[in-house]
Amino acid sequence: MKILMINKTDKYGGAAQVMQNLANGLRKNGHEVRCLVRRKFTDGDNVAELNDDLIGGALRKISGRDIPIVVGNWRDAILANDIEFGASKEIINHPWVKWAEVIHCHNLHGNYFRLDNLIELSKNKKVVWTWHDWWPYTGHCATPMNCKRYKTGCGNCPNLATYQNFLWDNTAVMWQEKRRIIKESRIVITVPSKEMQEKIPFAKLVHNGVIMGDLVNLNKVDLRIELGLPINKKIIMFLAYGWKNVDKGWNHIDKLSKAFSQDYWLGVGANKTGLIEGINYIGVVDQLTLHKYMKAADIFVFPSLAESFGMTAVEAMGQGTPIAAFPVGVVPEIIEHKKNGYIAKYDSFSDLKDGVEFILNNKINVGEIDFSINKMVKEYEKIYAKS
C-alpha cells in the first residue's frame, strides 16, 4: 500500500515521533511510506518539504531565521484565524498526493495547511487524521485544560494567549468552521487515549506505539556508570522543557526538588542549568539515550496537567521505571494506583509528593504494558484497509 504522512515536521515533537515510528513499522511490513512536512530536519528521499513562497524563501535564506513561520504565526494571531492559510494548490497537486492510496494526516496546525484541503483530498483518497492534541476540536487552543467551552461552541474564550494564540476572540467562528470541514470530509479520525475518545465519541482509539524493551539486557548500575550518574543515590527523573511551563507541571517539579533535595534530580531535554537550583540538566538526547536515563532512574515524575497521550510516561514504564503522575492522557490506562505506579489527585502537590515518597520507599514492579509500535501498525493497517 502507498501511504503519505503529513505533519508539521519530521523530527521535533511527539506527533513527529509517532509518525516516524508508524512509518518505519509500516515499511517493515512491506508498505511504501513517504512524509510531506512543513519543515524537514532528517535526511532521506522519503521526506519532502513544502515550498515557501518566493519572498518567504528568500528571507529565510538571507536571515538564517524561519521568517515564513514567524510571519505566519503573527498573521494567524492578528486575524484570529489559523485554518484558512497555508499551502493549498501545492498540497492538492503535489505528486506524492497523487501517488498515495492513503493519506494519513497528523498535526495540521502551524500555518502550513489549509484545513479545507481535507474536503478535496478525501474526495478521491482514503484519509486518516490522528489528533495529537485538542486543536481540531476547539476554537483555537491545543490544550483546553479545565475549560469546557469547546463542548458548546467556544466564544468568550478565557485563554486567548494559549497556543495557538489569538489577539481577539474569533473562537466561535473557528469552532464552527472546523466542524463544518470535518462533516464535509470523508475521513477517519483517530485519537491516542481513552480520555480523548470518551470526549470525542466519533473518533477511533489507536494508542501511540513506542519503542519498548530495547534495553532489556542492561541493568541500572551499569547504565549509571555509563551515564556518569551516582550509584548510591535515589535518582528522580523528569522531562525538562527549558522554560517554566506550568501546563507541564514546572511548579510541581520546583517544589518537589526542594522536598527531596537529598536525592539526585535529573532533568532530560533542556540544559538551562539555572532554571531550578539543585537539578542536574541534560540537553536534548536521542531516543536510545533517553531510554537509558529512564532505566537508570528510580522514578519518573510526570506532573503534566494536560496530555492527549503522554509519550514519555509510557516510555519510562516500558523501561521498567515506575512513574508518579496526575490522571491525564493515557496515565489511567497504564497505572494501577499503588501497584505499578502512583496516580495523584489532579494538580495536588501534596498527593504528588506522597506518590514520589511511596515509590522511593517501596519496591514497585511495573510489569508489562503493550504499547508497541507493531501493535499500532496493525491497528492502522486495519483502518487503511477499511477507510
Check whether residue 48 and residue 196 sit in a common domain. yes
Check whether residue 250 and residue 312 sit in a common domain. yes
Check whether residue 171 and residue 252 sit in a common domain. no
> What CA–CA distance (Å, rounded) separates 292 from 165?
36
Share of the chain above pLDDT 90, in %: 72
Quote the pLDDT of residue 270.
76
> What CA–CA distance (Å, rounded) separates 166 from 337?
39
Decide if 368 is inside a domain. no
Which band of pLDDT confidence, cut at 50, 70 and 90, is reported for residue 232?
very high
Decide if 189 is inside a domain. yes
Q: Is 246 helix (H, G, I), strand (E, B) or coil?
A: helix
Assess whether pLDDT exceeds 90 at residue 12: no
Check whether residue 201 and residue 229 sit in a common domain. no
- Please tell me the total number of residues recorded for the chain in this structure: 387
Quote the pLDDT of residue 369.
87
Quote the pLDDT of residue 72.
84
The Cα-based distances of 65 to 60, 62, 110, 226 in angstroms read 5, 8, 16, 37
The string of pLDDT tens digits covering residues 29-52 is 999 999 999 989 998 899 998 876
Check whether residue 159 and residue 291 sit in a common domain. no
Instruction: Give the three cell numbers for residue 146.
Output: 479545565
The string of pLDDT tens digits covering residues 132-142 is 999 999 999 99
DSSP letter, residue 386: H
Comparing 262 with 367, the larger pLDDT belongs to: 262
Structural domain boundaries, residue 12: 2-209+374-386
Assess whether pLDDT exceeds 80 at residue 115: yes
Give the residue among 182, 32, 2 at the shortest CA–CA distance from 108: 182
Q: Is 142 helix (H, G, I), strand (E, B) or coil?
A: coil
Check whether residue 86 and residue 51 sit in a common domain. yes
Assess whether pLDDT exceeds 90 at residue 248: no
Instruction: Give the three cell numbers for residue 148.
Output: 469546557
Comparing 342 with 244, the larger pLDDT belongs to: 342
Check whether residue 75 and residue 170 sit in a common domain. yes
How many domains does one find in the chain? 2
Check whether residue 31 and residue 100 sit in a common domain. yes
Instruction: Please work out, in degrees rounded to the nearest 5, the angle formed at the alpha carbon of residue 211 by the alpha carbons of 219 and 356.
Output: 60
Check whether residue 247 and residue 177 sit in a common domain. no
Residue 341: CATH number of its domain: 3.40.50.2000
Give the residue among 189, 161, 155, 156 at the shortest CA–CA distance from 174: 155
Q: State pTM to two decimals.
A: 0.91
Omega cis (within 30) before 164: yes
